[in-house]
Amino acid sequence: MKYKIDKEKCISCGVCTATCPNAIELESDGKAKVINHKELEKCGGEKVCPMGAIEKISSEKEVK
């Protein structure tokens, strides 16, 4: 499974990085970035973000 972060929904709260530090990191702008899709899946995938900013995607090309 692959995931992406909707930068408009991300409020830089850090819940995702606290919940799944091996899967998500915050970029210099404070927005989340997926760094390990398999680890994110183990942590709960899109449910990790209380704002709904983590989204499942269908192809690797869409990963940013």
The pTM score is 0.84
In the chain, the number of structural domains is: 1
Which structural domain range is residue 18 located in? Answer: 2-57
Helices (H) and strands (E) in the chain, counts: 2, 4
Residue 45 within a domain: yes
| pLDDT per position as a tens digit, 8-52 | 999 999 999 999 999 999 999 999 999 999 999 999 999 999 999
Cβ-Cβ contacts under 8 Å for 52 (sequence gap 6 or more):
6, 9, 46
Residue 62 within a domain: no
Q: Looking at the predicted structure, is the pLDDT value of residue 62 above 80?
A: no
Residue 64 within a domain: no
Tracing tokens 């209380």 back to the chain, one arrives at: 50
| 38 membership: H or E segment, kind and range | helix 37-43
Residue 25 within a domain: yes
- Tell me the two tokens of residue 31: 């927005």
Q: What is the pLDDT of residue 21?
A: 96
- Tell me the two tokens of residue 23: 């899967």
- Tell me the two tokens of residue 8: 């408009």
Q: List the CATH number of the domain containing 28.
A: 3.30.70.20
Average pLDDT value for residue range 1-14: 96
